[in-house]
Amino acid sequence: MTGASTTAPGRLAPPAGAPRTAMILVALATAGLVVSVQQTLVIPLLPRLMETFHVSVTAVTWVFTASLLAGAVATPLLSRFGDMYGKKRMILLAIGTLAAGSVVCALSGSLGVLIAGRALQGVSVALIPLAIGTIRDAFPAHRVTTAIGVISATMGVGGTVGMLVTGLIADRTTSHAPVFLVAAGLALVGMALIAVCAPDVGERPGGRPDYAGAVLLAAWLICMLLAVSQGNAWGWTSPGVLGLFAAAAVLCAVWVVLETRIREPLVRLSLLVGSRSLSANLASALLGFSMYAMFTLIAGFIQAPRDELGYGLSGSVLDVGLYTLPSTVTMLACSVLAGRMAGRIGPAFTLAVGSVFAGLSWMWLAFSNAHVYDMLAFNAIQGVGFGIAYAALGTLAVEHVPMHQSGIASGINALVRTTGGSISGAAVAAVLTAYTVAGTDTPTLAAYELCFWITAAGAALAAVVAVVHGVRHREPAA
């Protein structure tokens, strides 16, 4: 494998006069917030983008899925680079790519260019595991879990902020450009805070980048997601769809062989499917499936005209963000409490508790979705679930690995979570396009409710996996 080696292995100590941990956490949380904002700010615009570019639900969903796909590939690559060249440098690179992608999106005049810009933005998803690795390097051991909980909470808070920002702007203009210009400005603020406050610490074991592994990972993920998203349009037994699934299987097999044979792989399979890693990563993928489904489903459901379709809340783009405010409050509160809960019962059982709440929120919406209070209750319960679950998941992903592998371990966990989200976006789009109102491309209520049940099942399975992990690897509470 080609590539330049890094400098000699070593561990950088915090420089003299290093920022206090409080300022480090503020800088990392702000950067994480900006990343989460970019993930969701486009969601309320999807119905409008369908009209602007005259495309189908399946096509416009790639505006969201492209970001997740790019994040899935970039996360292990930049996490590896973070262990090689320094996490702070890679955090700055990730958020700088977000700023560049935002500008491309703002200037886009076609769906293809918009998707390309969104892919650039998606690279910034790698920032979250890099931030978690930085916390583990820079914080005292007794504060790590709580700090990870705060970073994890920014995922939900940023998601709500993104929808609110989009709603406020969309009420005043029909152009999508201002939304992305705001994202570019927020990215620059995040870069400034990281440059000033974040330390450059952590072990650097050296090594070479696995570019071939990154290309193969991207290739089989693209084939798989294209097959899922085009299944209804082309036919699930059509040569195109079957060929894509076959190509995904072959490329995945080649990727696995490569990662087991090279000295410094992009993804260490022991950290992906090892005895302690497999269950944590499987739970992460299932939670990613459940969480990212919300972004795809809820915006369309809230904006569906109830008088015409018999379901929906006839809401505006701004209403999409307002309905998610309860999840921000409960997620913030519960992510902080999750650290104490993990100290008492362990991160695995804490993850199970959060997953149960996440599943209950989807069950509520599957049973009752005709009223405003249904949507508010759904978001409040889901905030509890994901606030607890993601805080625990961040700890579960890295607690069993050496310090010098914390970045890549967290990155692999984020990779499978993002992959789960990518599959979720494609799968939800497939269901919504399979069951439509006669003579239209509009999904039926039954299509939405089926998606609600599917995502509830994903969260329930995550809870089961977490309990099994906790029983198999029971340790004394911290």
Confidence of residue 446 (pLDDT cuts 50, 70, 90): very high
Q: Please tell me the distance from the alpha carbon of residue 215 to that of residue 155, in angstroms, as a whole number.
A: 27
pLDDT score for 227: 80
pLDDT tens, position by position, 204-245: 666 677 788 888 888 887 888 778 767 766 777 888 889 999
pLDDT of residue 203: 64
Kindly give, in sequence order, each residue whose CB lies less than 8 Å from that of residue 109, ignoring residues fewer than 6 positions away: none
Q: How far apart are CA 453 and CA 366, in angstroms?
A: 6
Would you say residue 284 has pLDDT above 90? no
Beta carbons within 10 angstroms of residue 60's beta carbon: 24
Average confidence score pLDDT of the chain: 81
Q: Which of 62-66, 233-237, 261-265, 405-409 has the lowest mean pLDDT?
A: 405-409
CA distance 36 to 241: 32
Count of other CB atoms within 10 angstroms of residue 57? 22
pLDDT at 476 over 50: no
Token pair belonging to 216: 């193969």
DSSP state, residue 95: H
Mean predicted confidence (pLDDT) in 289-294: 83
**Phi-psi group of 3: left, alpha or beta (phi > 0 → left; psi -120 to 50 → alpha; rest → beta):** left
Whether residue 288 has pLDDT greater than 90: no
Identify the pLDDT of residue 396: 78
C-alpha dist (Å) from residue 117 to 71, 98, 100, 114: 13, 9, 8, 5
- Distance in angstroms (rounded) separating the CA atoms of residues 149 and 338: 7
